[in-house]
Amino acid sequence: PKTGNCPMSTPWLIVSDLVAVAVLVFVLYFPRNGRRDMVVALLGINVGLLGIAMTLTRSTVNLGLGLGLFGVLSIIRLRSSELGQQEVAYYFTALALGLLGGMPIDPAWATPTLMGAALVAVYVGDHPRLYERNRNQTVTLDRAHTDETELITRLESMLGGTVVRLKVRRIDLVNDSTIVDVRYRMNGG
Output the pTM of the full model: 0.62
Contact between 115 and 14 (Cβ < 8 Å): no
Q: Which residues have C-beta within 8 Å of that of residue 10, sequence separation ≥ 6?
A: 1, 3, 54, 104
Q: Classify 81 as helix, strand or coil.
A: coil
pLDDT at 46: 83
pLDDT value at residue 114: 87
Q: Cα–Cα distances in Å, from 117 out to 18, 70, 172? A: 15, 23, 47
Which percentage of the chain shows pLDDT scores above 70?
81
What is the mean pLDDT of the segment spanning 92-113? 81
Does residue 72 register a pLDDT over 70?
no
Q: Quick one: residue 175, left, alpha or beta (phi over 0 = left, psi -120 to 50 = alpha)?
A: alpha
Residues in Cβ contact with 114 at an 8 Å cutoff, skipping those fewer than 6 apart: 100
Higher pLDDT residue, 127 or 28? 28
**89 or 185: which carries more pLDDT confidence?**
185
Whether 182 and 136 have beta carbons less than 8 Å apart is answered as yes
Residue 98 has pLDDT above 80, yes or no: yes
Residues 6 or more apart in contact with residue 101 via CB below 8 angstroms: 13, 14, 16, 17, 18, 20, 50, 53, 54, 111, 115
What pLDDT sits at residue 138?
92
- What number is the average pLDDT over the span 79-100? 76
Sheet strands (E) in the chain: 2-3, 6-9, 134-141, 161-172, 177-186
The residues facing 163 across adjacent strands are: 184
As to burial, measured by CB atoms within 10 angstroms (0-12 exposed, 13-18 middle, 19+ buried), residue 91 is buried
Question: Looking at the predicted structure, is the pLDDT value of residue 168 above 50?
Answer: yes
Cβ(7)–Cβ(107) under 8 Å? yes
Query: How does residue 64 score in pLDDT terms, banded at 50, 70 and 90?
Result: low
Q: How many CA atoms lie within 13 A of 183 on its CB side?
A: 7
Specify the higher pLDDT residue, 160 or 94.
160
- What average pLDDT does the structure give for the chain? 81
Q: Is residue 14 predicted with pLDDT exceeding 70? A: yes
Of 36-40, 52-56, 88-92, 150-154, the poorest mean pLDDT is in 52-56
Q: In 4-73, which ranges are E strands?
A: 6-9
Q: What is the pLDDT of residue 43?
A: 85
